[in-house]
């Protein structure tokens, strides 16, 4: 009887205990540390929409631009590691800015890589009416007129800005940098000829329309849509920008939450809906799981740290 009574008491306690909440139990917030309308923002909104269906909770995008993505990334790093606050990570925020100046987070200690789904192409673009048809011509003009050519980017210390700093050191040139809060506003500035040229992502539509001329790509490989356009290395500049577009959470993210998020976003990236959307905005699929993504962040962080020292770029 005593055993029966104890058993019944245990069942009663279980019945009265609050239910264990399955993850996620509320909407997931993803901080995009860039302005709205750029390729990073658009792609994150789409993959978040699809992943939200599998997670059973909406994925809410919140734009927090500032300091080349550092403001938004720092806010995410301070969040509770319960999986309900994430951020979109790009090269500028995780292996460039932290190696050029002091930032309020350590990308190798304060973040949990979840997965990477893309990495937009970046290119040197000029207005269609500009006099330059090759990167060599642009650099020759910069050499003849030091400090007069201006270039726009999505922000200070982003991958495009870093590449131009490297070019300046390698070629002994002087440009004037004009940073914007995202690629959309930088694109508008190049179209309006408020800057001499741009080093941007999301330029395909303007190139197709004959508004931009694409002189070179910062990536390690050519862009399928514009196969005649060389990479920086092919154009004589020994540098490349391995663009990333991934999802990260705070350090100490609960393993079960991390695994659920990785699965949901990876499955979303594999859908025909997402792949078709990425094709329409000319963004490549570069899917990595959390482990591979973490390894890439560590390798590239070391490479950028070495380059910052070698070229005297650290601010």
User: What mean pLDDT value characterizes the chain?
Assistant: 90
CATH code, domain carrying 192 = 3.40.190.10
Residues whose CB is less than 8 angstroms from the CB of residue 212 and which lie 6 or more positions away in sequence, other chains included: 125, 126, 127, 128, 190, 191, 203, 206
Residues whose CB is less than 8 angstroms from the CB of residue 167 and which lie 6 or more positions away in sequence, other chains included: 139, 173, 232, 237, 239
Task: Please give the C-alpha separations between residue 174 and each of 48, 147, 148, 164, 292, in angstroms, as whole numbers.
Answer: 41, 5, 8, 10, 37
Per mean pLDDT, which of 56-60, 284-288, 311-315 is the most reliable?
56-60
CATH code, domain carrying 267 = 3.40.190.150
pLDDT of 258 higher than 60: yes
pLDDT of 92 higher than 80: yes
pLDDT of 3 higher than 80: no
Tell me the residue range of the domain where 85 lies: 28-119+243-310
pLDDT of 201 higher than 60: yes
Q: How many domains does the chain have?
A: 2
Domain identity same for 115 and 172: no
Side-chain-side CA neighbours of residue 138 (13 Å): 27
- Min mean pLDDT across 3-7, 99-103, 119-123, 271-275 is at 3-7
pLDDT of 300 higher than 60: yes
Per mean pLDDT, which of 32-41, 131-140, 216-225 is the most reliable?
131-140
Task: Tell me the whole-structure pTM to 2 decimals.
Answer: 0.79
Q: Tell me if 8 is assigned to some domain.
A: no
Domain identity same for 46 and 104: yes
Q: Tell me if 289 is assigned to some domain.
A: yes
Q: Tell me if 108 is assigned to some domain.
A: yes
Domain identity same for 152 and 72: no
What digits encode the pLDDT tens for the residues 146-198? 999 999 998 887 889 999 999 999 999 999 999 998 888 999 999 999 999 99
Domain identity same for 104 and 130: no
Domain identity same for 296 and 211: no
pLDDT of 202 higher than 90: no
pLDDT of residue 251: 97
Domain identity same for 249 and 260: yes
Q: Tell me if 7 is assigned to some domain.
A: no
Categorize the per-residue pLDDT at 21 as very low, low, confident or very high, splitting at 50, 70 and 90: low
């Amino acid at each position: 009887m005593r055993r029966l009574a104890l058993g019944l008491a245990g069942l009663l306690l279980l019945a009265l205990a609050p239910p264990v909440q399955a993850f996620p139990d509320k909407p997931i917030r993803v901080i995009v540390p860039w302005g709205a309308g750029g390729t990073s923002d658009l792609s994150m909104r789409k993959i978040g929409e699809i992943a939200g269906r599998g997670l059973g909770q909406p994925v809410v995008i919140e734009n927090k631009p500032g300091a080349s993505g550092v403001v938004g990334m720092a806010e995410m790093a301070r969040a509770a590691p319960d999986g309900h606050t994430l951020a979109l990570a790009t090269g500028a925020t995780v292996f460039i800015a932290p190696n050029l100046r002091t930032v309020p987070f350590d990308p190798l200690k304060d973040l949990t890589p979840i997965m990477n789904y893309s990495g937009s192409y970046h290119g040197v673009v000029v207005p269609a009416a500009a006099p330059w048809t090759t990167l060599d011509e642009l650099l020759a003009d910069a050499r003849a007129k030091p400090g007069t050519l201006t270039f726009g980017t999505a922000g200070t210390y982003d991958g495009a800005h870093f590449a131009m700093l490297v070019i300046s050191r390698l070629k002994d040139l002087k440009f004037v940098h004009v940073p914007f809060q995202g690629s959309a506003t930088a694109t508008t500035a190049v179209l309006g000829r408020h800057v001499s040229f741009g080093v941007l992502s999301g330029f395909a539509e303007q190139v197709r329309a004959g508004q931009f001329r694409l002189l070179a790509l910062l990536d390690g490989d050519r862009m399928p849509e514009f196969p005649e356009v060389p990479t920086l290395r092919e154009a004589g500049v020994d540098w490349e920008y391995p663009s990333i577009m991934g999802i990260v959470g705070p350090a100490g993210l609960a393993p079960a939450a991390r695994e659920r998020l990785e699965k949901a976003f990876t499955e979303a990236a594999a859908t025909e809906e997402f792949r078709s959307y990425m094709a329409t905005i000319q963004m490549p699929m570069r899917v990595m799981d959390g482990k591979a993504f973490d390894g890439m962040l560590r390798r590239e962080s070391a490479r950028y740290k070495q380059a910052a020292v070698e070229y005297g770029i650290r601010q």
